[in-house]
Amino acid sequence: MFENKTVEARRKQREEQQVELRQQRREDLLNKKRSMVSKDTAPQIANLKEMKSKVLSNDPNIVFQGVFEFRTVLSVEKSPPIQAVIDSGLVPRFVELLSTSCNIYQDPSTDLTTNTRLESAWVLTNISSGTTEQTSHVVDCGAIPLLLEMINEPSSELIDQGIWALGNIAGDSEAMRDSIINSNATPTILSFISDLLHSKDHLKILRNATWLLSNLNRGRNPPPPLPHMKSCIPVISLLTTHTDPEVVTDSFWAASYVCDADISTTDLILSTEIPNRAILLLKSIINKPSNTDSTSSYNDNSLYKIAMHSISPVIRMLGNILTGTDEQTNYLLDMEILTIFKDLLILYQEPSKQSRLRKEICWSISNITAGTEKQVERVFESKIIPILIDILNYSELYVRIEACYAITNSLSYCNTRYEHLEILLENNFLESLKDLLMVVSNLVEVQVNILNGFKMALEGCRAKYKKYGNNPVASRMEEIGLVGVIEELQDSGDASVSDKAYNIIVEYFNGEEI
């Protein structure tokens, strides 16, 4: 009952959040995938036959016009006719038009050639914003090598569009991501980004390239190849020190994905300046003068602006590190991460992000309290427990649930560290867990977790007070009506809940030892 949780147990605990995060990031990705034009002004697919004949023409000017029309149709905001374009059989033609060796190009250096290639890449970018099957069709038609070649083009527009298309493909799924990696793309992309970092120009391209790099390290089923991730880490580290908030944000997403994939790559992340950069950014938020507001000059401070923009992936990366080995968790504990978490829970007030940030921090703390006895002790020493219980009482339900896990995990050693239980009792944790238990009737896993917490508290208290014939936790549970709530759960339709409730009632409230 009081055994330390394994790394796999910690990973299983956070899987629900990872799914939610992926859904959120997928939505962000889709928003980023297309440049939009007004749906009212876009040509309709009704003239598909005429448009197709233009694309298949041998006249470069007519081909350009046809490709432009397809790109415009595919750039509508809602329900672009991606499948209709695929069904027309034109995707191989659009891929062919990426190459300067296409037989319609009389002179590869002309604006007409460049613009036709650009529009073709744009078409493929938008097709790759569709379903996995639609994206896969672009890949199967041989687009990846030609899009990679665009990275070395003199035209910044061609470079940017090629990167954007590759980013869409990589962000679609693990299979699509690996199709790019297996094309030996990693050295080319890393070299390109490294060169951009030494230039003050082309910020837009660097932003998209960083986003592409982030997508190339995303996903766990399976994770990216280990050699690929290892080669990316030095460049990711450099990107986190950039002065552009968007570049820094996507670079920390990349770091968070790498930490989510493999313990060895997490060690490599810890060997870089990335953790120090993360702590520096978070401290810039904490140390913001309290008498300033969003319109003050302090808000123009670059480090603070970067921190406010990138806080979500920074916290996610730290949380992923905390799901690793005990040594990796201790590394962050030694960087005073608990003090930073505590200050952020109190001071961070951004309305649009506060609840989600609190959820992330509570989840991160739950991974610490799922650790060793010494790690749990450091949580109690940080005096963050009262804040967690306050969140457990007054936050949104999804935040309260994560605070609940942080609290219940901390009970794992209360049979030998009764002072932990005393702190929890002083802060009325039983009342808080009771209130949560009464509103999660449809969340079996949370119910079971809370019941397990009660059992650990009862057992830890009994170990100390057995010889006195009185269990303070049991007495408190009776006083606040919690025993009645547990009794009702014996009739739960879920066996795991009813069995837990039954065992608590029988063992702690009908026996002579209570």
Q: What is the pLDDT of residue 37?
A: 39
CA angle 73, 76, 77 (to 5 degrees): 165
What pLDDT shows up at residue 468?
Answer: 60
| 230: its two tokens | 């290892």
What pLDDT score was predicted for residue 106?
A: 86
* pLDDT value, residue 465: 78
What is the chain's pLDDT, residue by residue, as a tens digit (514 residues)? Answer: 334 445 455 444 544 444 444 444 444 554 444 443 333 443 347 789 999 999 999 999 999 999 999 999 999 888 899 999 999 999 999 999 999 999 999 898 899 999 999 999 999 999 999 999 999 999 999 999 999 999 999 999 999 999 999 999 999 999 999 999 999 999 999 999 999 998 878 899 999 999 999 999 999 999 999 999 999 999 999 999 999 999 999 999 999 999 999 899 999 999 999 999 999 999 999 998 665 554 444 454 589 999 999 999 999 999 999 999 999 999 999 999 999 999 999 999 898 999 999 999 999 999 999 999 999 999 999 999 999 999 999 999 999 999 999 999 999 999 889 899 999 999 999 999 999 999 999 999 999 999 999 999 999 988 777 656 688 999 999 999 999 999 999 999 999 999 999 999 999 987 444 3
Residues 6+ apart with CB under 8 A from 37: 72, 75, 76
37 bridge partner residues: 76
263 close to 325: Cβ distance less than 8 angstroms: yes
- DSSP SS3 for 351: coil
CA torsion, points 52, 54, 56, 57, in degrees to nearest 10? 160
Q: Are 119 and 67 in contact (CB under 8 A)?
A: yes
CB 229 within 8 A of CB 217: yes
Handedness of CA 494, 499, 500, 502 (dihedral sign): positive
Q: pTM for the whole thing? A: 0.88
What per-residue confidence (pLDDT) applies to 498?
A: 96
Q: Report the distance separating Cα 483 and Cα 472, nearest Å.
A: 13
Question: Distance between CA 375 and CA 410 in Å, rounded?
Answer: 10
CA distance 256 to 253: 5
Secondary structure element (H or E) that encloses residue 325, with its range: none
**Architecture of the 35-216 domain:** Alpha Horseshoe (1.25)
- Give the dihedral sign, CA 486/404/417/481: negative
pLDDT at 13: 52
Distances (CA, A) of 427 to 240, 378, 404, 422: 39, 18, 14, 9
Task: Quickly tell me which residue has 């950014």 as its tokens.
Answer: 281
Q: Where are the alpha helices (DSSP H) in 293-443?
A: 302-321, 326-334, 337-347, 354-369, 373-381, 385-394, 397-409, 418-426, 429-437
- Token readout for 444 is 């079996």
In whole angstroms, what separates CA 386 from the centre of its chain?
Answer: 27
* 3-class state of residue 170 by DSSP: helix
